[in-house]
Structure 1
Amino acid sequence: MSAIKLAIVGVGKIVHDQHLPAIAANPDYQLVASASRHNTVAGLPGFASIEAMLAAVPEIEAVSLCMPPQYRYQAAQVALAAGKHVFLEKPPGATLSEVADLEALAAAKGVTLFTSWHSRFAPAVQPAKAYLATHAPTAMEVIWKEDVRQWHPNQEWIWQAGGLGVFDPGINALSIVTEILPAGIFLNRATLEFPANRDAPIAAELHFQSADGMPVHAQFDWRQTGKQSWDIVLQTGGGEVRLSDGGARLWLNGVEQALAKEAEYPSLYQRFAELVRGGRCEVDLAPLRHVADAFMLGRRKEVEAFFD
């Protein structure tokens, strides 16, 4: 079976850190071009726009869209209309309506649309999900705190409307939560902290519950210094379940479990290839829907200005 001819759109830090190594290690792909306003991929034809790239390299079969979410819809629409399969970095779009429209276009064109949630492929996620399927959770605490200056230096788009602010990492936690819980949850109340000079929040506190009343409390904060915190702790009838380091480690009743090696982005690209070969879409908006609910229902609190 011939390799899928793939192009990258939006060449930034995450592409160099994660996408390019995952693609290079996967024989299902041949990376043939890139499009980005400011950067290129060494050794490949580079273009300033997706339109120019698709016109010059018509053999492209699929594209990975890695630009900020505010600009993703237009690029995805162009690619799908041209009959290309589309991989969407998280979050899949700036709004729910955008992604719903793209899903309909992909179906009409008979091509794959994949909303990728890399944290769902962390090694602790599926073992935790299997445990919770037989040990009903009674409460959940999510603590997702990191230093924005370390992880998003000089990235102005992330502070703009549609950039999601602290929900850019927080949505990773929500992608795990919505994957491992045996039943859905919905938001009750929230407080979002906005720096006086920014359009996106720097911190958020969220209170959810399930249909049967199980509480879920989540704290997201971008002002953490020192040790970073990416933890999910559940109480169950069978004891405590703890996922740490963003889902890289798992404890069941205080005993750390042996897990597979971390391979989030290689797993994403393996999944995308399976979907393309099988002629299927995979569009899950649950994490983004919870973020939208937080912006809709959350109380706004202004805090001191933030300067990078």
Structure 2
Amino acid sequence: MQPIALVGIGKIAVDQHVPALAASPDWHLAATVSRSGTVEGVEPFTDFAAMLAAREDIRVISLCLPPQPRFAYAEAALKAGRHLMLEKPPGQTLAEVHALQALAAAQGVVLFATWHSRMAAGVAAAKAWLAGRVVQSAHITWREDVRKWHPGQDWVFEPGGMGVFDPGINALSVLTEVLPAPVHLTAAVLQYPANRATPIAAALTFSGGVTADFDWRQEGPQTWDIAVETDGGSLLLRDGGARLLIDGAEHPQGPNREYPALYDRMAELVAAGRSDVDLAPMVHVADALSLGRRVVVEPFHF
């Protein structure tokens, strides 16, 4: 097993990355970097530069930091000659990620911009079923409770945090993976709380009859659905892509292992010496923030 360092020991790292690494046949979690978080039995660092200097044996870094500070850490890792895995979204801006791509290529190291929802159990089968069919329309309903998934995390509402596009980009990562032909955004209405810098809800319209409804204010059961109508029937991805229904009938796809699959993929990329950076989901977010009509709604407080 190869040693790997995990940088940013927050909720997503504890809930997803640490268990995935513990179960991985490819990786051994050898170090963490965090101001306060640690993992039992793993060497902790509070300074990233100190970890890079002290643990030259660790050639692979997984960054789980929020997008705002991520570029500086990513740049430092690549300049140190380490392979790098980025939690979604891969950066605050497209330009940041293009710069990281160029740096990784110049350094001869692997850069993997991950999209965990693409690894959901039903996504590959949905893509295969849609291939060769004509999509007549599609609608995304992605509604969840920000207080549950980002409790007290004000960074999501700061510039670069993306607001409701933090979860919405997961839906867009699935959409861009499964559709047989690309689409582009044509209009957007974005709801901004009066006291926040990023949207809490969004209604998106794309070419090809594709629409999306994102909202961060849903309490109770959460909704992560993508419905597609084609010339050969209907498809529904539910629970973020974990469940696949075709013409109303469930098609079980086995266990949902999004984050373990990401680390499987990273092992393949490192072995092949090849990067994987697809920015299509992030392009849609950038377009929405560019084209979106701003509507101010009531203030939001955690």
Under a length normalisation based on structure 2, what TM-score does the superposition of the two structures give?
0.99
1:152 maps to which residue?
Answer: 150
Q: CA deviation at 1:59?
A: 1.1
2:238 to 237, 241, 244: 244
2:20 maps to which residue?
Answer: 22
Q: CA deviation at 1:26?
A: 1.1
1:170 maps to which residue?
Answer: 168
How far, CA to CA, are the matches of 2:220 and 2:24 in structure 1?
35
Residue 190 (structure 2) pairs with residue 196 (structure 1): no
Amino acid at match of 1:86: L
How far, CA to CA, are the matches of 1:42 and 1:160 in structure 2?
31
Amino acid at match of 2:274: R
2:287 maps to which residue?
Answer: 293
The root-mean-square deviation of aligned C-alpha atoms, in Å, is 0.8
2:78 maps to which residue?
Answer: 80
1:1-308 map, 5 Å = 3-209=1-207, 214-308=208-302
How far, CA to CA, are the matches of 1:180 and 1:11 in structure 2?
32
Under a length normalisation based on structure 1, what TM-score does the superposition of the two structures give?
0.97
How far, CA to CA, are the matches of 1:50 and 1:89 in structure 2?
17
Please state whether the residue corresponding to 2:184 is helix, strand or coil: strand
Moved over 3 A (4+): none
Q: CA deviation at 1:239?
A: 1.3
How far, CA to CA, are the matches of 2:191 and 2:244 in structure 1?
30
Amino acid at match of 1:172: N
Q: CA deviation at 1:111?
A: 0.5
Q: Deviations over 1:142-180 (max 9, x none)?
A: 000011111111111111110011001000000000000
Q: CA deviation at 1:225?
A: 1.4
Amino acid at match of 1:155: Q
Q: CA deviation at 1:23?
A: 0.7
How far, CA to CA, are the matches of 2:22 and 2:81 in structure 1?
24
Contact 2:132 2:180 in 1 (8 A): no
Unpaired runs of 5+ residues, structure 1, are none
Q: CA deviation at 1:49?
A: 2.1
Question: Which moves more between the two structures, 38-47 or 169-178?
Answer: 38-47
Q: CA deviation at 1:200?
A: 1.0
Q: CA deviation at 1:32?
A: 1.0
Contact 2:233 2:247 in 1 (8 A): yes
Q: CA deviation at 1:38?
A: 2.0
Unpaired runs of 5+ residues, structure 2, are none
Q: Deviations over 1:168-211 (max 9, x none)?
A: 100000000000001111110001111011111100000001xx
Please state whether the residue corresponding to 2:131 is helix, strand or coil: helix
Query: Identity over the aligned pairs, expressed in percent?
Result: 55
How far, CA to CA, are the matches of 1:56 and 1:15 in structure 2?
22
Contact 2:91 2:97 in 1 (8 A): yes
Question: Which moves more between the two structures, 68-77 or 36-45?
Answer: 36-45
